[in-house]
Amino acid sequence: MTVQSSLLGPVTVDTTGLSSFIPEEAIASDLRETVDADAAMIHAIIAKSLGKERLLPRETATLLNVRDPELLQDIFRGAEQLKQAVYGNRIVLFAPLYVGNRCINNCSYCGFRSENSNCQRTTLTEQGLQDEVEALIDHGHKRVIMVYGEHPQYDAEFIAKTVEQVYRVKKGRGEIRRININAAPLDLAGFARVKEAGIGTYQVFQETYHQETYESVHLAGPKSNYLWRLHALDRAMEAGIDDVGIGALMGLYDWRFEVMGLLHHTIHLEERFGVGPHTISFPRIEPAQGSAFADAPPSGVSDADFKHLVAVLRLAVPYTGLILTARESVEMRNEVMRFGVSQMDAGSSIGIGSYAGEDEAEDKSQFELGDTRTLDEVIAELCRANYIPSFCTGCYRLGRTGEHFMEFAVPGFVKRFCQPNALLTFTEYLEDYALPATKKIGLELVEKQLAEMADQAMRERVEQRLQKIYAGARDLF
């Protein structure tokens, strides 16, 4: 099929034989028919989720329809309990790394859209990328997500080469140990090439699962083809990438429908490949340069709706990682972290070249950030709230993909691997990068966590490794 790109003319995407696996009518009827569920029904659904079972679409719709304030509190409590029981109090930190903002698509909500002539188009040079990565390492980061506009210049080879370059960078005692990607959908050969470069997760957000709305906001370029995008992660998995991330841009269409779309996408991947997505993202639309969506997204998602949707997602897919980004304010981030968010970005800068010193100029950024704290500030706050910041990349580097599933499915996995590795990677951060005040509260938290470890053999093992870290060893997992 040929689609029109606003910059390059016709572009071909092959969607032969593809159809939608999002049952729009069934979603609408599930949402329509579950508005009057009683408390007993809601409690039974929450209990099922606490038993670590993925919810059915109709059960999820039932939770999405809850409006009674007391029942909503029950949903929040359920999500919090599930998070504590399965994942504990770790939170994995990462940073976005924007590589280039050239783009042949015209997505109405994005500052990089081709029609935005005020956007200053830039792509990091080899030296520019080196500088960005060194700056990220100097801040203490170990995990990044590399972000690209969609443009022929950013083909699979370019993406793979930039990933390989980032893995090669060493600075002081640091390096980037896991690279995830957020880039346009590729074909099979393209996905295979970026897998070869050693990526962690490949993320592609569907933006909206509602096809008519999708077509009304994606005005030109390959992205205007709903099916090409919807099947992107099928192609990624066929090409051997087993960690994929899905997402919806909340505010384009009814958020309840989008949560149902994310669930159906999860079910589709589970049915086809035996494993669902590694992570789910649920960004709300933020103001973007010149975008008509800045002040009034077509389907606004209030703060109360946002909390509701995060808690329901946690309960609906208990074993999938949930990512919360710095698009949200500090207050909102602190609040919804409790409901089951497992990863968040910190110290983020979304201009091209902005970690290494350039201003995060509006004309080079995709949208505005809600949380502009430094990594060290985020870490200090997390410690005060008793969360353990983690930079762990152990599973991925031991070939154990689908780490969230392991955490969830293998009894004792979190206690044996995740918590110790979180403490070790956090201590590396405290030793190498933390400001003195952060180091003090961080080390106190590590001591407290060690004291609370019930398994004495495990505690001794972690203590031995901590001694090695204090003596200068790094990357123990």
Which residues contact ligand SF4 (rule: CB under 6 A)? 103, 105, 107, 110, 112-113, 149-150, 223
Instruction: Kindly report the number of other CB atoms within 10 A of residue 20's CB atom.
Output: 14
Rule CB under 6 A: is residue 360 a binding residue for ligand SAM? no
Nearest distance in Å: CB 280, ligand SF4: 18
- 151-210 residues in contact with ligand SAM (CB under 6 A) are 182-184, 204-205, 207
Rule CB under 6 A: is residue 100 a binding residue for ligand SAM? no
Helix (H) or strand (E) holding 163: helix 156-168
Q: How far apart are CA 324 and CA 344, in angstroms?
A: 5
- What b/e string do you get for 92-119 counting C-beta neighbours within 10 Å, with b at 16 or more? bbbbbbbbbbbbbbbbbbbbbbbebeeb
Q: Which among ligand SF4, ligand SAM, none contacts residue 421 (Cβ within 5 to 8 A by kind)?
A: none
Rule CB under 6 A: is residue 110 a binding residue for ligand SAM? yes
Q: Which among ligand SAM, ligand SF4, none contacts residue 113 (Cβ within 5 to 8 A by kind)?
A: ligand SF4
Candidates 286, 345, 360, 403; binder of ligand SAM (CB under 6 A) is 286
Tokens of 20: 């939608």
Nearest distance in Å: CB 243, ligand SAM: 17
Provide the mask over 54-93, with x wherever binding to ligand SAM is found by CB under 6 A and - wherever it is not: ----------------------------------------
Q: Which among ligand SAM, ligand SF4, none contacts residue 63 (Cβ within 5 to 8 A by kind)?
A: none
Q: Which segments of 137-273 are extended strands (E)?
A: 143-148, 170-171, 174-175, 178-182, 202-203, 244-247
Q: Does the CA dihedral 130-204-306-408 come out positive or negative?
A: negative
- 16-35 residues in contact with ligand SAM (CB under 6 A) are none
Query: 99 vs 126, 183, 312, 375, CA distance in Å?
Result: 10, 10, 33, 20
Nearest distance in Å: CB 317, ligand SAM: 19
- Count of residues engaged in binding ligand SAM, rule: CB under 6 A: 20
Nearest distance in Å: CB 285, ligand SAM: 5
Query: 377 vs 132, 203, 330, CA distance in Å?
Result: 20, 27, 11
- The count of C-alpha atoms lying within 13 angstroms of the C-alpha of 371, restricted to the half-sphere facing its C-beta, is 23
Nearest distance in Å: CB 306, ligand SAM: 13
Nearest distance in Å: CB 223, ligand SF4: 5
Which CB atom, from 297 or from 442, has the smaller least distance to ligand SF4? Answer: 297
Which CB atom, from 119 or from 336, has the smaller least distance to ligand SF4? Answer: 119
Q: How far apart are CA 291 and CA 387, in angstroms?
A: 36
Q: Which among ligand SAM, ligand SF4, none contacts residue 283 (Cβ within 5 to 8 A by kind)?
A: ligand SAM
Which CB atom, from 89 or from 105, has the smaller least distance to ligand SF4? Answer: 105
Which CB atom, from 105 or from 390, has the smaller least distance to ligand SF4? Answer: 105
Rule CB under 6 A: is residue 430 a binding residue for ligand SAM? no
Rule CB under 6 A: is residue 354 a binding residue for ligand SAM? no
Instruction: Kindly report the number of other CB atoms within 10 A of residue 142's CB atom.
Output: 23
Rule CB under 6 A: is residue 253 a binding residue for ligand SAM? no
Catalogue the long-range contacts made by 188-192 (C-beta closer than 8 Å, 24 or more residues apart). 188/235, 188/238, 188/239, 189/156, 189/239, 190/155, 190/156, 190/239, 191/156, 191/235, 191/236, 191/238, 191/239, 191/240, 191/241, 192/239, 192/240
Q: How far apart are CA 426 and CA 211, in angstroms?
A: 43
Q: Is residue 228 helix, strand or coil? A: helix
Residues that bind ligand SAM (CB under 6 A): 109-110, 112, 147, 149-150, 182-184, 204-205, 207, 249, 283, 285-286, 288, 327, 366-367
